[in-house]
Amino acid sequence: MGVSTSSPEKGISLVTVDFPPVNALPVAGWFALADAVRAAGRDPAARCVVLAAEGRGFNAGVDVKEIRTDGRQALIGANHGCAEAFAAVYECAVPVVAAVQGFCLGGGIGLVGNADAIVASEDATFGLPELDRGALGAATHLARLVPQHLMRALYYTGRTASAADLHRHGSVWRVVPRADLRVAALELAGEIATKDGGLLRMAKAAINGIDPVDVRRSYRFEQGFTFEANLSGLADRMRETFGKEDA
């Protein structure tokens, strides 16, 4: 359990997340993920990073039960941890390919929205159930996956989009059977890794430099409303009902 890094092929670093049962990451998990992605990008032998997960789904966001138990300190920790993990993917010195299976929710959208490319399994679904969990955020990243009006409708309703939907919008590179996901992601990463390592790093910096959105700043702006929701008591009321159906 946790975050691990391996090198399945020359030039590729594979960062794998495994927090059973649903990959809802605790505060420490977000920081561990950020550290692993940054370290992988600093490795001079790496030319591409693949971000993957074990289990039923790619990511279910933050561990809401931890926040319910530990209160404001956990909330602050989760907000900082998510911001660092999202930024680590975006700022990674080499391209990052996300391999997404099953559910990709909440913080998972922050990760894949900041990745350079996404390969998804046929059963992958993407969404932000934030309003149902007393939180606000990651619209910054969902807006990188779908057009503006669709982003707003998905955000307000909490509905999800399928891998096929995102493929039609051009944000998912390839959709494959779940059994083929890791191979397909490594195949794309391998193609990227054939390029010169120095030029790849320059290309990543250049592309980030012309990005019209400052993802750190816009996500931080969103987080301010999460704190407001918590201070007003709205968030607590939403979290009280979350997960009770599973109890």
**166 with 146: CB under 8 angstroms?**
yes
pLDDT for the residue 245: 47
User: 246 pLDDT exceeds 60?
Assistant: no
Q: What are the angstrom distances between the C-alpha of 132 and each of 28, 135, 172, 218?
A: 24, 8, 26, 21
**135 with 24: CB under 8 angstroms?**
no
How far is it, in rounded angstroms, from Cα 64 to Cα 246? 13
Question: Residue 243: which pLDDT band, with cuts at 50, 70 and 90?
Answer: low
Helices 72-91 & 215-232, crossing angle to 10 degrees?
170
Q: Is the pTM of this model over 0.85?
A: yes
How far is it, in rounded angstroms, from Cα 241 to Cα 231? 18
Strands 96-100 and 117-121: parallel
* CA of residue 39 relative to chain centroid, distance: 17
pLDDT in tens, 65-111: 898 787 788 889 999 999 999 999 999 999 999 999 999 999 999 99
**59 with 17: CB under 8 angstroms?**
yes
pLDDT in tens, 111-155: 999 999 999 999 999 999 999 888 889 999 999 999 999 999 999
CATH 3.90.226.10 assigned to 2-179+198-246: yes
How far is it, in rounded angstroms, from Cα 180 to Cα 52? 13
Domain residue limits, the chain:
2-179+198-246
pLDDT in tens, 218-238: 999 999 998 888 888 887 787
